[in-house]
Amino acid sequence: MSDETTLTLFQQQELNRRRTTWLLAGFLVFFAWLGFGGDYIYALSTAHAPPAAQHHVWWFGIAMLAIGGALASYAYKTGAEKVLWATGAVEVVDATDDRQKQLVNVVEEMAIAAGVPRPRIWIIPDPDPNAFATGTDPQHAHVAVTQGLLDLCGRDELQAVIAHELGHVKNLDVRLMTTLAALVGAIVLMRDGASRIFFSGGRSNGGGGRGRGKGDLGPLVLVLLVVWIVSWILAPIITQLLAMAVSRKREYLADAMGAQFTRNPLALASALQKIDSADVPATHIKGGAAHMCIADPLGRRLSGHEGLLADVLATHPPMAKRITILKGMGYAQIKREGGIVS
């Protein structure tokens, strides 16, 4: 387990604030490289062209930096709404049946136990049992559960799952994870748009000045161009891997906080067992939000194992290990209470 589990709540919150700041800063630096790097490559490739055809104004870098800043700000401010929209979540305003009423009651109880304002409540029409929290802080938090989770879990198990999600809210995991989810989507969108522009533009370029671009600068332009293109290709993958790595480190802590809020670690262990055993494909939660869920909605095979492959590709730590830890906490609690009674 990560050493981060030994930090206090305020240290956890401050760590997540710093991580979010560095994430946004790194996002801007990446966009600056894409823009000014492209300008530099274009300037080198036209260095031997007539002055009128040379690249002097680095407009692409300025544009990309502006776009990156706008996307980072937009992702931070509206990431939660975009994640909920992408999953097809429907807000519970007035509970219409017993399941929804139970959900509202459980969220209210756990918000009091966690010491946070009651988050807005959403239901995702997905048969795969799952849940996630999103938002920028406890005052602007959302908790979403799938219909499959409501149908599968009893009250104590549902309470434990909600407590786990409110653990993410309380220590500001939601800010970091929501920003990551939004930035993954933004990078994918920018990459796809740039690919269309570059590939369509490449076909229209004539041969004039092409020979003049060859010479001493040819190999350098080629190397930089390859690195630049690879940056576009790998950016969404690297961001997604970063989201997975951050998610894995936070799940153990949220499990512990959920057990603390409910005083019932065995209920969360039971809920995770049911979720892990469910063999229902996810229909609404896609890759961009997978790292935010209590369990991997895209397949439990990798998160069911330990090792290098799981560490790199799995969105969650091994479910069996999480369940074992929670059961150990529960049995220790029973032993303590039994000792007090006797």
pLDDT tens sequence across 62-71: 877 777 777 7
Between helices 218-262 and 173-204, what is the axis angle to 10°?
160
Please give the pLDDT value at position 1.
44
Min mean pLDDT across 78-87, 115-124, 131-140, 220-229 is at 220-229
Q: Judge if 190 and 297 occupy the same domain.
A: no
| 21 and 69 belong to one structural domain | yes
CA angle 137–177–66, rounded 5-degree value:
90
pLDDT band at 121 (very low <50, low <70, confident <90, very high): very high
Q: How far is CA 264 from CA 42, 84, 237, in A?
A: 62, 29, 38
Are 126 and 283 spatial neighbours (Cβ–Cβ below 8 Å)? yes
User: Whole domain around residue 69: which residue ranges?
Assistant: 3-79+178-233
Residue with tokens 């397949």: 299
Q: What is the pLDDT of residue 209?
A: 43
Count Cα atoms within 13 angstroms, Cβ side, for 230: 6
User: In terms of domains, do 184 and 168 share one?
Assistant: no
Do 211 and 256 belong to one domain? no
Q: How many domains does the chain have?
A: 2
Does residue 85 lie within any of the structural domains? no
On the question of pLDDT at 260 being above 80, the answer is yes
Edge to edge, the sheet with strand 131-135 lists 90-91, 120-124, 141-146, 131-135
Minimum mean pLDDT range among 26-30, 42-46, 185-189, 320-324: 185-189
C-alpha to C-alpha distances, 307 to 18, 304, 315, nearest whole angstrom: 29, 10, 13
**Is residue 240 in a domain?**
no
81 is catalytic: no
Q: What confidence tier does 280 reach under pLDDT thresholds 50, 70, 90?
A: confident
Position 270 confidence tier, pLDDT thresholds 50, 70, 90: very high
**pLDDT higher than 50, residue 7:** yes
Verify that 40 and 141 share a domain, yes or no. no
User: Do residues 111 and 167 share a domain?
Assistant: yes
Residue 143's beta-bridge partner residues? 121, 133
Burial class (CB in 10 A: 0-12, 13-18, 19+), 241: middle
**Closest to 180 (Cα-Cα) out of 132, 226, 227, 214:** 132
Q: Residue 203's pLDDT is what? A: 45
Helix pair 59-86, 173-204: axis angle to 10 deg: 130
Measured over all CA atoms, what is the biggest interatomic distance in the chain, rounded to whole angstroms? 94
Residue pLDDT, tens place only, 88-109: 999 999 988 999 999 999 999 9
Please tell me which residue, 114 or 193, carries the higher pLDDT value: 114
Shared-domain flag, residues 204 and 289: no
Percentage helix, strand, coil, to 5, in the chain? 70, 5, 25
* Residue listed under structure tokens 């040819």: 218
User: In this structure, are 268 and 165 located in the same domain?
Assistant: yes
- Average pLDDT of the chain to the nearest whole number: 77
pLDDT at residue number 208: 44
Most trustworthy range by pLDDT among 68-72, 96-100, 179-183, 281-285: 96-100
- Between CA 211 and CA 201 the distance in angstroms is 19
Residues 167 and 55 in one domain: no
- Exactly one of 157, 165, 251, 337 is catalytic; name it: 165
Q: Examine the domain organization and report whether 153 and 10 are in the same domain.
A: no
Which CATH number does the domain housing residue 306 bear?
3.30.2010.10
pLDDT at 215: 43
Per-residue pLDDT tens digits for 122-155: 999 999 999 999 998 899 999 999 999 999 999 9
Residue 62 lies in a domain: yes
